[in-house]
Structure 1
Amino acid sequence: MIKTVEDLARKSLKKAISSLDYPMVDIRFEEPPNPELGDLATTISFELASKLKKNPVEISKTIIGMVKLPKFFERVEANGPYINFFIDYQSFSRELLNSIDEDYGRLSKKSEKVILEHTSANPNGPLHIGHIRNAIIGDSLARILKFAGYNVETHYYVNDMGRQIAMIVWGLLNLQKNLADYHGDKWDHKIGRLYFEVNQYLEKNPKLKDEIDELIRSYENGELEKIFQEVVKKCLQGIKETLKELHIKHDKFIWESKFVRDGSVKNVLEKLKKTHYIREDDVLYLDLEDFDIDKELILTRSDGTSLYSTRDLAYHLYKSNNCDIVIDILGSDHKLAVRQIEAAMELLGGKRPEVIFYEFITLPEGSMSTRRGVFVSVDDLLDEARSRAVKEIKKRRKDLKMAEIEDIADKVGVGAIRYYIARLSPEKHLVFKWDEALNFEMGCASIQYAHARACKLLKKALFNNDVKIEGEWAPDETEKDVIRLLAKFPKVVEESAKTRRVHLIAQYLQELANAFNKFYKFSPVIGSEFEGARLIIVDRVRKTIKNGLKLLGIEAPTMM
């Protein structure tokens, strides 16, 4: 709706500029820092000043003298060089509130198909909080892009040919180990314990590295497939269970070995050999100096077997051939590798991937390592979140049954984790702190509580969609604050999808919840003179918060 009023204001300015025979400029709007300065502001007078050689303040005054006030506006003013539009909230609010339905914020379908790869953790143990930022950013972005109209296919790239899997296979073949013997209910935890044990053994016996290399060669040559694939499938089974708990589901799991087996890797090498960038010195590599990349891209080992980088190129070419937009979610330590991929994709005639880099999560006591066994698994994180949520809900609600408490705790616990990660720009480093993630006074719990409060109020009022705004209702200031934010939601969705930034949705929801809580406190609803209008506001906030939380993979409880 805010986009509609922006378009109306833009159209009126274009007509005014045209009538003055001023040169046409790009008209952009911003939100003034204070509502007293209006709802939309533009600085086009600055741009016109350089073209007309006139004072921007005089230009603003001249323009507004020619502006015909469009629908939904009560006035337009010149404030120095700025042109400020003021919305008529009496007419605008009715139009907006009538337009908000259960699907509010969804944008029209687009023709582009997106393949978005995220998570893609090595299947050598359970997911830990070092992986979780990738998974949550990726899944939330996929949801936002779908809501914004894109055709989105999500991938988990399965590294089944890497050294980690060969180490696990070596352990099964040489340490007389059986995965079923390891403690734990989930296969990924069992495999993680074996991987840790093999790492310790190899540190004491480094000469065994050659045996690991031989296993890698054997698997690439089509041998030992049963045991390699059994390990990977069992670990993925556990990983999928964890992702399900986080409300994450991938459309496809693409195995790395696929690109060796179907000849894709061979085709990539043949294409690159036809360029003048290929070099051979014991190993095959790409010289990328012409791309301002000092480090060459190694393509094969000395024995001719492929590397992760080669298989990754084949995978990116596969994605490039099957969609319009390729998006990867990667840690900031992959920046060099991405530059190499971009250069190689240019040589191969494929699409350059869009990459969302994120900084890592660390624990207050330091970094994590699966190899050293220093990590908090996502399963442990979820259990702790639910446990803390149960304790908090018990303190607040003595009237609930245990089954109700556990249901709410699951929604609040998962929501707290997902929101804690989604709320920050990916470029910012994140130290995971329990007290911040599970704080019931701020963050996700406060947003979920606003939704639950709205549901409770509507239930008490026996609200139905036939309620109409009656009388000469004009929204007060707290109502205006809510209405302004409700109007912005589709634009926030659009901006979040366009910039590939999920934290915009998270920040918006916190603003809306805060505005609603203020409205709830200062604007009586049931029994008030404007009960109908205010109940409609409550309902529209409910719908918008629910839709926004869904974009972040978070459930909206109806009671807390």
Structure 2
Amino acid sequence: MFRYIENSARDSITEALEKLQLPVPSEIKLEEPPNPQLGDLACTVAFELAGELKRPPMEITSDIMSVIETPEIFEAVESKGPYINFFVDYGKLSGKLLEIIDDDYGSHPERGERIILEHTSANPNGPLHIGHIRNAIIGDSLARILRKAGYQVETQYYVNDMGRQIAMIVWGLLNLQKNLDDYPGDKRDHRVGRLYLEVNQKLKEDPGIKEEVDELLRQYEAGENEDTFREVVEYCLDGMKETMQRLHVHHDRFVWEGELVRDGTVGEVIESLRKTGLTRENEVLYLDLEDFGIEKELVLTRSDGTSLYSTRDIAYHLQKSREGDILIDVLGSDHKLAAEQVGIAVDLLGGKKPEVIFYEFITLPEGSMSTRRGVFISVDELMDEAHKRALEEVEKRRELPDDVADEIAEAIGNGAIRYYIARLSPEKHIVFRWDEALSFERGCASIQYAHARACKLLKKASFNGDEDIEDTWKPENDEKELVRLLARFPVVVEEAAMARRVHPVAQYVQDLANAFNSFYRSTPVIGSEFEGARLRLVDSVRIVIRNALGLLGIHAPETM
């Protein structure tokens, strides 16, 4: 609907310019004025034409205003200095808009393009921690937004089963006379993490163990000890998958890097790169990237001939290139050089260079985190603490059956975590603070509360969706702001998908919830002159808040 409004304004400008026999810009720019008193849309076409026509913008605007016709969806078109401002007829807009908002509102037609989106891909050497969580939440939310925007999306988790960290865990199983079930902890990934920390301590005491670990890697690449490596990785992934399921993070497919070695793909990549004439050998095989403006070479094999993560990553991206039209990777900002190197190699071999979303890290107020040193908060601990704090708040506000309170607390706690991370652009560093993330005065809890308020009001009115919109209803004040925001939702989805960004959706749903809370306080609904229209408006807000939160992987409770 918002696109319809924009197009109506552009069409009226185009027709006016044609009547005046003035040039029509390839793109007629529109913007939203900072003050609603200046209209709903402002056109800057006079500025765009001033240089070409060598005339003051005010004169051009005056000419356009002398012939322009007011489109049907607007009640007035006025000039404010050199700007041409359009005022929406909210009586007409609201009637059309509320008729089309349904459960699928915000969805776009299929685009016919397939996206392979890789995210999370944390090493399976312990539980996910808050250093991983930003990757998972950005990736999962973006996948939801892209699907809503009409793309076919497959999300993938790239399983690093051939890294030294996994070999260290295997070494521990083979040399410490223990099995993973001997370690304390309810979840498998936490047990693996404890073994990993123990092996790290042994390495500090005896650096010679490193050669034994390297030998295990060589053997695994040659096809030995496959069962043990597979058992370790699957054992850890079982626990990590439980965490992701609780956080509402979903992957369509898990791709194991070891399979790319054993099926010969990595070997083929190395030979193909040799044929480019850009490889060099000096104890190790590497790709010389100086011609591409990168001084640091990309090492392809170790001195013993075994492959490296980067080599296998190239093979993985070539596989994705065959399966998808667009590749998107979510990576920490410390991977920028490696991503650029791999992208060049993939391009050299005829693959598709991935679009990469880089994010800055999350730290604790007391400093950085390290899996190796055991200095981290696991995502499980984070969610447990969020649930506990949310439950305390729910119990303060209402008396509910234990199972109901528990379910609401889980929705609020998970929502707080996901929203706290989704609300900021990935380029911004985050210091994770409990009080901010779990605040019930702002953020996700206030959005979920707005949804619950809408549900409660509709239930009280016995709303069934058949209520008529009164012909004389014309939205004013808070109602007008709600209509304007509701009309924008499909555009927000489309623009977030095009920009590959999640935070615009988070900001939008906060704005919508704030506007609804203001409306709720100021505008009578049940028993009012325009009860039917206002109930339809409330129901539309309910649908859009739920749909927007759904794009962020957040549940919208019907009661709080």
Using the size of structure 1 for normalisation, the TM-score is: 0.99
Q: Does 1:18 align with 2:18?
A: yes
Aligned to 1:429: 429
SS in 2 for 1:524: coil
Once the two structures are TM-superposed, the CA of residue 99 in structure 1 deviates from its matched residue by: 1.1
Q: Distance in 2 between matches of 1:240 and 1:66?
A: 63
Once the two structures are TM-superposed, the CA of residue 85 in structure 1 deviates from its matched residue by: 0.7
Aligned to 1:35: 36
Aligned to 2:411: 411
Aligned to 1:513: 513
Once the two structures are TM-superposed, the CA of residue 114 in structure 1 deviates from its matched residue by: 0.1
Aligned to 1:187: 188
Aligned to 1:559: 559
Once the two structures are TM-superposed, the CA of residue 175 in structure 1 deviates from its matched residue by: 1.4
Summarize deviations over 1:37-67 as a string: whole Å, max 9, x none. 1101121111100000000111111112221
Once the two structures are TM-superposed, the CA of residue 20 in structure 1 deviates from its matched residue by: 1.3
Q: Distance in 2 between matches of 1:28 and 1:175?
A: 68
Once the two structures are TM-superposed, the CA of residue 270 in structure 1 deviates from its matched residue by: 1.2
Once the two structures are TM-superposed, the CA of residue 435 in structure 1 deviates from its matched residue by: 0.5
Q: Does 1:376 align with 2:377?
A: yes
Once the two structures are TM-superposed, the CA of residue 276 in structure 1 deviates from its matched residue by: 2.0
Q: Does 1:151 align with 2:146?
A: no
Aligned to 1:59: 60
Aligned to 1:543: 543
Give the aligned residue type for 2:373.
R
Moved segments of 4+, more than 4 Å = none
Summarize deviations over 1:97-117 as a string: whole Å, max 9, x none. 111111110011111000000
Q: Distance in 1 between matches of 2:419 and 2:449?
A: 14
SS in 2 for 1:329: strand
SS in 2 for 1:65: helix
SS in 2 for 1:284: strand
Aligned to 2:216: 215
Q: Distance in 1 between matches of 2:376 and 2:338?
A: 25
Unpaired segments ≥5 residues, structure 1: none
SS in 2 for 1:512: helix
Unpaired segments ≥5 residues, structure 2: none
Aligned to 2:469: 469
Q: 1:112-131 alignment to 2 at 5 Å?
A: 112-131=113-132
Q: Distance in 1 between matches of 2:202 and 2:263?
A: 35
Give the aligned residue type for 2:533.
A
Once the two structures are TM-superposed, the CA of residue 342 in structure 1 deviates from its matched residue by: 1.6
SS in 2 for 1:310: helix
Summarize deviations over 1:128-178 as a string: whole Å, max 9, x none. 010000000000000000111000000000000000000000011111121
Give the aligned residue type for 1:35.
P
SS in 1 for 2:337: helix
Aligned to 2:531: 531
Once the two structures are TM-superposed, the CA of residue 187 in structure 1 deviates from its matched residue by: 0.8
Summarize deviations over 1:347-398 as a string: whole Å, max 9, x none. 1111110000000000111111110001101111111110000100010113
Q: 1:4-403 alignment to 2 at 5 Å?
A: 4-25=4-25, 26-398=27-399, 400-403=400-403
Give the aligned residue type for 1:259.
L
SS in 2 for 1:206: coil
Q: Which moved more, 1:547-556 or 1:266-275?
A: 266-275
Give the aligned residue type for 1:424.
L
SS in 2 for 1:373: coil
State the number of aligned residues.
Answer: 559
Summarize deviations over 1:431-457 as a string: whole Å, max 9, x none. 111101110111000000000000000
Q: Which moved more, 1:64-73 or 1:369-378?
A: 64-73
Give the aligned residue type for 1:78.
S
Superposition CA RMSD, Å: 0.7
Q: Distance in 1 between matches of 2:350 and 2:452?
A: 52
Q: Distance in 1 between matches of 2:91 and 2:65?
A: 23
SS in 2 for 1:107: coil
Q: Which moved more, 1:138-147 or 1:266-275?
A: 266-275
Once the two structures are TM-superposed, the CA of residue 471 in structure 1 deviates from its matched residue by: 4.0
Summarize deviations over 1:190-220 as a string: whole Å, max 9, x none. 0000000100110111121111110000000
Give the aligned residue type for 2:127.
P
SS in 2 for 1:482: helix
Aligned to 1:504: 504
Q: Distance in 2 between matches of 1:327 and 1:123?
A: 22
Give the aligned residue type for 2:93.
F
Give the aligned residue type for 1:49.
A
Give the aligned residue type for 1:284.
L
Q: Distance in 1 between matches of 2:253 and 2:55?
A: 60
Q: Distance in 2 between matches of 1:478 and 1:224?
A: 66
Give the aligned residue type for 2:14.
K
SS in 2 for 1:176: coil
Q: Which moved more, 1:170-179 or 1:304-313?
A: 170-179
Once the two structures are TM-superposed, the CA of residue 321 in structure 1 deviates from its matched residue by: 1.1
Aligned to 1:445: 445
SS in 2 for 1:257: helix
Give the aligned residue type for 1:262.
D
SS in 1 for 2:30: coil
SS in 1 for 2:535: helix
Summarize deviations over 1:232-260 as a string: whole Å, max 9, x none. 00000000000000111210000000110
Summarize deviations over 1:448-498 as a string: whole Å, max 9, x none. 000000000000000011101124111111100111100110000000000
Using the size of structure 2 for normalisation, the TM-score is: 0.99
Q: Distance in 1 between matches of 2:66 and 2:262?
A: 72
Q: Distance in 2 between matches of 1:240 and 1:540?
A: 35
Q: Distance in 2 between matches of 1:147 and 1:40?
A: 26
Q: Distance in 2 between matches of 1:501 and 1:244?
A: 23
Q: Distance in 2 between matches of 1:373 and 1:417?
A: 22
Summarize deviations over 1:261-286 as a string: whole Å, max 9, x none. 11111111111111121111111101
Summarize deviations over 1:317-337 as a string: whole Å, max 9, x none. 100111000000000000001
SS in 2 for 1:153: strand
SS in 2 for 1:71: coil
Q: Distance in 2 between matches of 1:203 and 1:525?
A: 69
Give the aligned residue type for 1:295.
K
Q: Distance in 1 between matches of 2:363 and 2:116?
A: 29
Q: Distance in 2 between matches of 1:86 and 1:464?
A: 33
Q: Distance in 2 between matches of 1:67 and 1:303?
A: 76
Give the aligned residue type for 1:115.
I
